[in-house]
Every structure is written in structure tokens, then in C-alpha cells.
Amino acid sequence: MITFMNNSDSEEEPCNERTSLMSAESPPVPSYQDGLQASEAGEAQAHRKRRTGSSHSPNNIADGDMSDSGVPVRESALENEEEELTLKYGAKHVIMLFVPVTLCMIVVVATIKSVRFYTEKNGQLIYTPFSEDTPSVGQRLLNSVLNTIIMISVIVVMTVFLVLLYKYRCYKFIHGWLILSSLMLLFLFTYIYLGEVLKTYNVAMDYPTLFLVIWNFGAVGMICIHWKGPLQLQQAYLIMISALMALVFIKYLPEWSAWVILGAISIYDLMAVLCPKGPLRMLVETAQERNEPIFPALIYSSAMMWTVGMAKPDTAARGPSQQTWDAGEDGRDNHRSPSHADSQMSETRSPVPTRPITSFEELEEEERGVKLGLGDFIFYSVLVGKAAATASGDWNTTLACFVAILIGLCLTLLLLAVFKKALPALPISITFGLVFYFSTDNLVRPFMDTLASHQLYI
């Protein structure tokens, strides 16, 4: 355990940057909306929007609007179309995000329910130094609040540090940090997880096989997350590392601290993303100003993935603002890109076969995906996992929290479609989840148990 605790420094780094950063919601959604709404033409991405505007029909209308020749009827028709497209794509994105969140939660709950290791108390992280084994309730509460304050301040410091690094363009440092933390997650935590699962099911595995399996898993994971790889594989890896991180949290956070931390972090998330000087908001705005994707290792993207390799020299005669997009697009397999554009664009426009236009459309598709931060995945899974672990073995509580989180996610995405800017994904879901957890555990459980013991159905 000593070695583990020593590692916890770097282990906290991935968790910190993940949690802190990734509570931000999808930055590109505003840009896609920008593409549709001419009224935001004044923003920095105006030139990019006009490019995209030229390539598809709603934006032709948008161009008309831009030139202020709009008859009010035309404008309202435009707005209706925008709203309809918003809602149509919004609903699709809700589903696209439900699946990974559900998968992550399923993995976490399955592990918690079957592998004993993650519910045993074997020490605490150095970030939560106060123990909860105190005799009195007041002391325990005080300790958990102190733990929370320490944890949140660590997260705030890490986030501000990351944002400063990003602002001052210390990309190499950030990349190195990300690579180090994902290395550790992919290798060390996977090794521990695999070891515990094998122990639970009493399966023997020799070291060479273990080494081979973990090496392959980790190496492919590193390549997929930080470089290029099939979208689904990247999504699968992101889900797996979120689940691993959530399991670590569930194991090492003491009970009351965990709940208070969940509450505090959703408040922090709300402030960090919505306040004008909030670090996450600044990060998102800086990324948008520079037309750069936020690091792919920290965001789950439901549509095309973005690659880290930015600004490759551009061959075609496209504008400089296109460079980052084209680099990402060039990096993928050629046969994959048109098919992606086809599958996702077929609803609204027919894919044009020539390559430059396809890349425009692909550009749309990248923007059209909803992006959810990995920290959100982690904290949702922590909530559901804690419910599964500590709710006296009751599945009803777990299910109730699961439904609550999904509904919260739905509402958040709805708000995203309405407000069209980066939103914190944690507060609504975590609030619903917490309310449902405590109420189900204390109120519903005795009711359902009594009903079930008499075999009564309601």
C-alpha cells in the first residue's frame, strides 16, 4: 500500500485534470450552432463559419440573413429550421451519450458487485487525510468536510495550473503530463484491476501471458487515445479508463467524504464553467479562439474524434483556419472519412464526392458531435458505484440513481441545445442522483422490502 500511496500523486493528476477539465461541455456545439445562426457572426470564428456556410443549405439561408435582407417570415422560417435541426440532432446526441455513460456505469457496478477488493477499506488517499473512524457524528462530519475542502482545492489548483499552461502555450508539458497519466492508468491500474478480477474468479494466469495482455492493451490504448485509431476503439478505451478511475475513487474515498465531495464538485463545476473568470470557461474559450481541439485524452467525443496532431502543413489551397481541421482529417484513413461523412450527413444533405467538399462536410460532422468530459463519466460512475457498494446491497437504489443521472444528462443536453454554449454536465445529474440515492435508500427501501416480503405489488 505504501507504493500505491506514493503513486497517488501522479494518480491524482490524471484524475484532477480529467475531472476539472472535463466537466466542460462540448465546445463545438456552439460552433455548429454558429454555423447555423448568422447572428453570432461577430465571433472569432466568423471566417470559418462563412466557409462552412457556403457548403450547405441552411447556411445559405444564414448567409441571406447575414446580409440583412431578411423578411421577418424568412427569419422565423430560418429559426424554425434551426430549432428543428437542433432538436433532431439534439435527440440523436442524447442517445449517443446515453450509451457510453450507461456502459461505464455497468462496468463499474458489475465490478463493485463482484470483486471484493473495491469495497474493502484499505487506506485512504493523501488527499483525504482525515479519517472517518471517529466516534462521534459531528467529528465525522467535520472530517469529511475538511477532506472535501482539501480535495476541491487540489482540483482547483490543478485546473488553474493546466489552464495557465494552455494559455501560455506550453503544449509539450501538457502533452507529457497527459501521456504520463494515461500511461499510468492504462498499465498500472489495469494490472491491479485484472489481478483482482482473476483473484475473484480464481483463475490462474502466468506472468508471461499477463505481461502480453497488459502490454497489448496498454500500447493500443496509448495509440488510440493520443494518436489515431478507430473511433469506437477510442471511445471504448476512454470508457474503460473512466471506469478504472471511478473504481479507484470508490475504493479510496471514505463514505461521507465521497458524498460531500460529489456535492461540492458539482457546485465547483457550475462555477468553473459558468463564471466569466472560471478556469474551465477560459479553457474552452481559448480553445475556441485558437480553433484548436481540446486534448482528446480528456474528452469523450460522440462523433468523429479529433487527433492531437495539429497544424500539419496544408497541401490544398485552403485557408489557414482550416489547417487544424484538415490535419485531423488528413490523418485518418481515406476510406473512413467519406463513409463517416455519408452516414452522418445523409439526413440533411447528400455527400458530395469531391474531396475538399467532403472535408467541409466532415468539418460539420466534427462539430456536430457532442463532447462530454471524462471527469463527468468518472463522477457519474462514482455516484452509481457508491450507491451499489454502500446501499445495503440493494439494487433498487442503484437503478434509481442510474435513471436519475440519465434524466439529468437529458436535461443538461436540452439546456445545451437551448443555450448553445459550453455547460457543466455535473450539477443537474449529480443533484438528481444524490437526491434519489438518499431518498431511495432511506424511504423507498423499507417500503419496497415490506411489500416484497408480503409479495405485494403496487
Partner 1 sequence: AFFWLVSLLLASLIWFVSVHLSDREDAKLQYGLLIFGAAVSVLLQEAFRFAYFKLLKKADEGLATISEDGRSPISLRQMAYVSGLSFGIISGVFSVINVLADSVGPGIVGIHGDSPYYFITSAFLTMALVLLHTFWGVIFFDACEKRRYWCLGLVVASHLLTSGLTFLNPWYEASLVPIFIITLCMGLWAFVTAGGSFRNVLKCLSC
Positions annotated as catalytic residues are 269, 376
CA dist 376 and 409 (Å) reads 10
Stretch in the footprint of partner 1 (CB under 8 A) among 221-229, 261-269, 328-336, 391-399:
391-399
Residue nearer to partner 1 on the CB measure, 86 or 234 = 86
When asked if residue 430 is in the footprint of partner 1 (CB under 8 A), the reply is: no
CA dist 1 and 3 (Å) reads 5
Residue nearer to partner 1 on the CB measure, 86 or 358 = 86
When asked if residue 94 is in the footprint of partner 1 (CB under 8 A), the reply is: no
Q: Which of 176, 393, 418, 419 binds partner 1 (CB under 8 A)?
A: 393
When asked if residue 446 is in the footprint of partner 1 (CB under 8 A), the reply is: yes
Site map (CB under 8 A) of partner 1, residues 34-63, x = contact: ------------------------------
When asked if residue 448 is in the footprint of partner 1 (CB under 8 A), the reply is: yes
Give least dist CB 447 to partner 1, A: 4
Stretch in the footprint of partner 1 (CB under 8 A) among 57-65, 306-314, 401-409, 419-427:
401-409
When asked if residue 116 is in the footprint of partner 1 (CB under 8 A), the reply is: no
Contact (CB, 8 A) for 365 and 344? yes
CA dist 373 and 294 (Å) reads 10
Task: For the chain, give the longest Cα–Cα distance.
Answer: 75
When asked if residue 80 is in the footprint of partner 1 (CB under 8 A), the reply is: yes
Give least dist CB 441 to partner 1, A: 11
CA dist 83 and 75 (Å) reads 12
When asked if residue 436 is in the footprint of partner 1 (CB under 8 A), the reply is: yes
When asked if residue 418 is in the footprint of partner 1 (CB under 8 A), the reply is: no
When asked if residue 403 is in the footprint of partner 1 (CB under 8 A), the reply is: yes
Q: Which of 10, 102, 396, 431 binds partner 1 (CB under 8 A)?
A: 396
When asked if residue 73 is in the footprint of partner 1 (CB under 8 A), the reply is: no
Q: Which of 400, 409, 416, 430 binds partner 1 (CB under 8 A)?
A: 400
When asked if residue 452 is in the footprint of partner 1 (CB under 8 A), the reply is: yes
Give least dist CB 109 to partner 1, A: 12
Residue nearer to partner 1 on the CB measure, 87 or 212 = 87
**b or e along 59-75 (b: 16 or more beta carbons within 10 Å of the residue's beta carbon)?**
bebbbbbbeeebeeeee
CA dist 43 and 59 (Å) reads 16
Distance of CA 174 to the CA centre of its chain: 18
Q: What's the length of the chain?
A: 458
Q: Please state, as a whole number, how many other Cβ atoms lie within 10 Å of the Cβ of residue 371.
A: 28
When asked if residue 320 is in the footprint of partner 1 (CB under 8 A), the reply is: no
Q: Which of 149, 205, 311, 451 binds partner 1 (CB under 8 A)?
A: 451
Give least dist CB 24 to partner 1, A: 26
* Terminal-residue alpha carbon distance, the chain: 49
When asked if residue 346 is in the footprint of partner 1 (CB under 8 A), the reply is: no
* Footprint (CB under 8 A) of partner 1, residues 130-189: none
When asked if residue 207 is in the footprint of partner 1 (CB under 8 A), the reply is: no
- Residues that bind partner 1 (rule: CB under 8 A) add up to a total of 31
When asked if residue 194 is in the footprint of partner 1 (CB under 8 A), the reply is: no
Q: How far is CA 85 from CA 43, 91, 95, in A?
A: 22, 10, 16
Binding site for partner 1 (CB under 8 A): 80, 83-84, 87, 393-396, 399-400, 403-404, 407, 436, 439-440, 442-444, 446-452, 454-458
